């Protein structure tokens, strides 16, 4: 039976990297400290079928930030300063004897840094472009077999264009936004086309609830196989359709808490179980 190393980075992006198309004004910013968790005992294969796997998990503590250099130019960053990947003990179903001991690796994860430019900023429509650089700061070959990874070991560059519009629904503030992007990957990984949408609404003047759709399509142009007998290849030719939801509650005009849920409803070479995230944020306007 072949061993897969499934993409975790995709779920991280779902949970933490929903770049806005409205840029921050000069000196303003958004800062979120959050914890993200996924544990899975099943996965989508390269044909889209769901099969079981030894229970593996990932836990990250990360910082996401946006800062307005000017009213048009913003800096963005995602720093998973603690990342843990692990596998539970494997026991025999007939004798309950220990077959394989569990294992874990702790390190920093892959850091994403970028810049956003506001192409159009009006009351009814906003357009922005983001260049995001993925730095290979995580561990791409940890553990006894090299498959305990907190990063993919490649330097990627993603260009993303987003459009959004505010509106009211049943007299409640709301917004809708869409994006398209291209992710250029190095080290013989396949490039990716990405697209998605988000719909949010405000309740009681303090609670925002948003639903998210994210799609990743591999161009299948990399030289690496997504699988081998060692399980050491990380996240090549990943494809998925992901659905998620996030709630953000403002205790004050600047400070609040958030919770998110996301998972793949269809995919290739990715875990088939959902992820969860909780965080605290500071929104300086």
At 158-190, the pLDDT tens digits run 999 999 999 999 999 999 999 999 999 999 999
For 182-208, the DSSP string reads EEEE-TTPPPEEEEEEEEEEEETTTEE
Domain boundaries, given as residue ranges, for the chain: 3-284
- For 22, 65, 121, 192, 285, the CA distances from 73, given in Å and listed in that order, are 11, 14, 12, 25, 15
For residue 149, which of 208, 227, 231, 40 has the smallest C-alpha distance?
231
Q: Give burial (CB, 10 Å; 0-12/13-18/19+) of 20.
A: buried
pLDDT tens digits, 68-119:
999 999 999 999 999 999 998 887 778 888 888 889 999 999 999 999 999 9
- H or E stretch covering 12: helix 9-16
Tell me which CATH code domain 3-284 carries: 2.40.160.40
Q: What is the mean pLDDT of the chain?
A: 87
Residue 15: the pLDDT is 47
The pTM of this model reads: 0.89
């Amino acid at each position: 039976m072949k061993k897969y190393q499934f993409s975790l980075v995709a779920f991280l992006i779902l949970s933490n990297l929903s770049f806005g198309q409205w840029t921050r004004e000069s000196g303003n910013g958004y800062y979120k400290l959050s914890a993200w968790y996924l544990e899975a005992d099943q996965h989508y294969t390269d044909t889209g079928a769901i099969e079981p796997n030894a229970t593996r998990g990932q836990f990250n503590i990360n910082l996401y930030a946006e800062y307005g250099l000017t009213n048009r130019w913003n800096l963005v960053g995602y720093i998973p300063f603690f990342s843990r990947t692990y596998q539970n003990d494997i026991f025999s179903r007939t004798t309950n004897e220990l077959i394989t001991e569990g294992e874990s690796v702790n390190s920093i994860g892959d850091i994403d840094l970028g810049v956003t430019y506001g192409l159009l900023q009006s009351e009814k429509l906003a357009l922005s472009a983001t260049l995001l650089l993925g730095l290979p700061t995580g561990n791409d070959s940890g553990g006894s077999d090299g498959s305990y990874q907190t990063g993919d070991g490649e330097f990627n560059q993603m260009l993303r264009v987003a459009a959004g519009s505010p509106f009211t629904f049943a007299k409640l503030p709301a917004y809708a936004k869409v994006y398209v992007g291209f992710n250029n990957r190095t080290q013989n990984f396949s490039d990716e086309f990405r697209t998605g949408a988000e719909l949010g609404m405000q309740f009681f003047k303090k609670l925002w609830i948003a639903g998210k759709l994210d799609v990743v399509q591999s161009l299948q142009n990399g030289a690496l196989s997504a699988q081998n007998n060692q399980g050491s290849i990380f996240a090549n030719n990943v494809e998925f359709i992901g659905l998620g939801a996030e709630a953000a509650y403002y205790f004050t005009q600047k400070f609040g808490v958030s919770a998110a849920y996301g998972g793949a409803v269809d995919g290739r070479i990715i875990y088939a179980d959902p992820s969860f995230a909780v965080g605290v944020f500071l929104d300086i306007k």
